[in-house]
Amino acid sequence: MTSSSALFPSRKAVLWFIVSTVWLSCTLAVGAVASNTSEKLARVKDIASIEGIRDNQLVGYGIVVGLQGTGDSQQTTFPTQTLASTLLRMGVSVPAGAIRVQNLAAVFVAATLPPFARSGTKLDITVSSAGDARSLEGGLLLMTPLYGADGKIYAQAQGPLVVGGYAISINGNIKQMNHPNTARVPFGAIVERAVPLDIEGKSQFSLLLNDADFRSAEAVADAINSSLKRSAAHPLDSRRVILSVSPGEEVPAFLAEVESIEVPIYPRAKVIVNERTGTVVIGGRVVLQPVSILHGGLAVNVVSEFQVSQPGPFSDGKTKVVQQTNVDAFDKPVNRIELKQGATVDDLVRSLQTIGASARDVISILQAMKSAGALEAEIEVL
């Protein structure tokens, strides 16, 4: 007869089995969460666009009237010529040389014509001074035709200006806030001609990725096919994905469904450097290799002082100004930074802050690290 201890496991064995099972479940769950969080998702409409469905730029030249003496000066001749031409079209013949006004300004008008805009659609416009006007505050833009790249008129602009700043000049003292020479006119333009764009009946569209990448193009096509449950997309190159519309399927509904699909993205590792402002932006995917950085500097100061050489009394000498130049050179001590295996961007930033590196120093160090092969990322200089 067997003992009960052989048939039934002990309490320690049961407890160990339960703990092991819970630990394994938690490990698998954490691993699944980590794998999911490591993959970034974005909607198709945020990373790509449909070829042919695009904006169009419009520009025009006109005049702004109603300014309170802050318009173009008499040295700027083309505003008066424009005013003379405008008056001539209205039946008033005035020589351009006889016009003496400071309440008008010549401006350029810019607008963006969105896709599928039809006749009567209203657009926002931006008005900027083309002469030496001090401010456009209180001005009224007269009717201005807006031209496309083909030279045709697509919209007409007119309306009161909204200026987000001011400029006051009294007795040579100027007080200015923001940029009073640029203004906006909300819904200030009306579309007169539509850009022909018809998507009805088309069986294929090209999806253009914002950033060219073969892996992203393949991932976008796989996600679209998986969501639509049919082979509706296939990558053509690193930027284009061809979309096929089924016979009888509504094109707007098809494109809307495609644009709402979330797809994995694989952004490039980049370091953005702005030399003018000293701004450095380092992406989170940047990989650092073990490297030792020695950073120092040589500072040279040149100081010029002007002293007066005064001759002695009862002498024939003359008083002269003599320039004294002093040159000082300081060799700064070398600062050392060591990045070991597995170092992150945060470690690099903290180390650079520790040694007191300026933005210019950081730019030089990053470029040197890239040349040494310790920075696995693309450096883009703005």
Residues written for the chain: 382
Q: According to the model, what pLDDT value does residue 173 have?
A: 65
- What pLDDT was estimated at residue 35? 40
Rounded to an integer, the average pLDDT of 68-88 is 83
Q: How confident is the model at residue 37 (pLDDT cuts 50, 70, 90)?
A: very low
Lowest-confidence pick of 181-185, 282-286, 297-301, 332-336: 297-301
Instruction: Give the DSSP per-residue string, 122-166.
Output: EEEEEEEESS--S--TT-EEEEEEEE-TTS-EEEEEEEE-EES-E
- What does the pLDDT read at residue 201? 79
Question: Quick one: pLDDT at residue 174?
Answer: 67
Q: Which pLDDT score, from 0 to 100, does residue 269 have? A: 81
Q: Is residue 22 predicted with pLDDT exceeding 50?
A: no
pLDDT computed for residue 169 by the predictor: 64
| Tens digits of residue pLDDT in 146-173 | 999 999 999 999 999 998 776 666 666 6
Q: What is the mean pLDDT of residues 305-309?
A: 71
Question: Residues near 24 by Cβ (< 8 Å), separated by ≥ 6?
Answer: none
What's residue 157's pLDDT?
A: 96
Q: Residue 231: which of 223, 250, 212 has the closest Cα?
A: 223
Contact 261, 235 (CB under 8 A): no
Grade residue 299 by pLDDT with cuts at 50, 70 and 90: low
Query: d(Cα 172, Cα 162) in Å, to the nearest integer?
Result: 26
Q: Which range, of 30-44, 206-220, 358-372, averages the lowest pLDDT?
A: 30-44
* Arithmetic mean of pLDDT, 195-211: 87
> What is the average pLDDT value for the chain, to the nearest integer?
80
311-329: average pLDDT: 71
Is residue 355 within 8 Å of residue 295, measured between CB atoms? Answer: yes
Is residue 89 very low, low, confident or very high in pLDDT (cuts 50, 70, 90)? confident
Q: Could you tell me the residue ranges of all domains in the chain?
A: 56-191, 204-265, 270-311+318-381
Q: Residue 234: pLDDT band by 50, 70, 90 thresholds?
A: very high
- pLDDT at 87 exceeding the cut of 80: yes
What local confidence, expressed as pLDDT, does residue 9 receive? 52
**pLDDT tens readout for residues 91-150:** 888 787 777 778 889 999 999 999 999 999 999 999 999 988 888 988 999 999 999 999
Confidence of residue 10 (pLDDT cuts 50, 70, 90): low
pLDDT score of 342 more than 80: no
Is residue 309 a contact partner of residue 320, using CB atoms and an 8 Å limit? yes
3-state helix, strand, coil in the chain (%, to 5): 25, 40, 35
Q: How confident is the model at residue 256 (pLDDT cuts 50, 70, 90)?
A: very high
Integer Cα distance of 147 and 125 in angstroms: 13
Closest CA to 374 of 296, 294, 295, 292: 292
- Nearest 5°: the CA angle 139, 144, 146 is 130
Whether pLDDT at 64 is above 90:
yes
Confidence of residue 322 (pLDDT cuts 50, 70, 90): confident
Identify the band that residue 186 occupies on the pLDDT scale cut at 50, 70 and 90.
Answer: very high
Distance from C-alpha of 227 to C-alpha of 264, rounded to nearest angstrom: 13
The three state secondary structure string of 77-97 is: CHHHHHHHHHHHHCCCCCCHH
pTM: predicted TM-score of the whole model, two decimal places:
0.66
Distance, in Å, from the CA atom of 163 to the CA atom of 96, rounded to the nearest integer, reads 29
SS3 assignment, position 4: helix
Q: Which range is most confident: 14-18, 250-254, 372-376? A: 250-254
Among 16-20, 170-174, 293-297, 326-330, name the one with the lowest average pLDDT.
16-20
pLDDT of residue 306: 67
Tell me the C-alpha distance between 164 and 211, whole Å. 35
Which pLDDT does position 2 carry in this prediction? Answer: 44
